[in-house]
Amino acid sequence: VRTVDEAVVQGTHYDYILVCTKAFPSKIDTSQLIYPAVQDGTTIVLVQNGIGVEDRVIEAFPHNTVIPAVIYVTTEQVDSGVIENFLPMRMIVGCNQIMTLNSSERDIRLAQDQRTAGVFADLLNRADVVTTLTDNIQGYRWLKTVWNASFNTVSVVAGECNTHELLDDPALRELVLEMQREIWAIGVAVTGQPLPIMEKSESPESIIKATREGQPPYKPSMLQDYLNHYPMEHEVILKNPITSARQHQIPVPRCETVYAILRMLSYKQEQADLKNQAAANTS
């Protein structure tokens, strides 16, 4: 099966739909992509990075359980068809409150959705995929975005640096640290509570220390995408947090600067690829 249309051609009912694609909201609407396969009782699991990736899906499927997931997997494609895995994979799942419901309905629905998420977590744990159910999934999404919005983006704009190269340069290390502090502050403001504590992720400083001392050097996924001329997830990883910062009147000058450069790099690469493709088609 290669497409959603192929997956539904025989009328198969799917208990779970796992969306493990990159998130490009301005290019691909995930809710429209999976629409043919969603039925009553289908649970949608969004294994995607970034902030706000679940909003359109919840709006499109108000009666289905939507489970945003945070996944930690440290890999690098070292050759065609060859993926090197550096650390064990782990996942955190949980559900959002449906804000269009009144307060009593909201609590009932959240409890139902959390039970469904718990069943899904049990399935993964039985398959030896370490999965935790949380009632603070947005906090964990922001916590992961602290890393993604800094290391991923700076690895590209700094001239294609791996994680150790970023942290061994004092100026780049300071840039990454200050961006993490900015994202951390946004997450606290948006969720209205401190970000959750995870081992080696108690603060931006501890995240940087763990990345430098506890992991081998590797190219963040956004850099891998850039090097392979794939689209980059800069909207959900950096643009959406910046939008939230403006809504909460939080200054994020470093994030704004890096995003402006990253967006232009992405645009220039896309235009060059289109030009090269057009030339190839006419030759």
Domains contained in the chain, CATH given: 10-133 (3.40.50.720), 137-282 (1.10.1040.10)
Which tens digit of pLDDT belongs to each residue from 195-213? 999 988 999 999 999 999 9
Contact criterion met (CB below 8 Å) for 74 and 215: yes
Which tens digit of pLDDT belongs to each residue from 231-248? 999 999 999 999 999 999
pLDDT the model gives residue 193? 96
Compute the mean pLDDT over every residue in the chain, rounded to the nearest whole number: 95
pLDDT the model gives residue 208? 97
Q: How many CB atoms lie within 10 A of CB 236?
A: 22
Quick one: which of 102, 96, 128, 139 has its CA closest to 114?
96
Tokens standing for residue 151:
């290391």
Can you give the pTM of this predicted structure?
Answer: 0.92
Which tens digit of pLDDT belongs to each residue from 59-108? 999 999 999 999 998 777 788 888 888 777 899 999 999 988 999 999 99
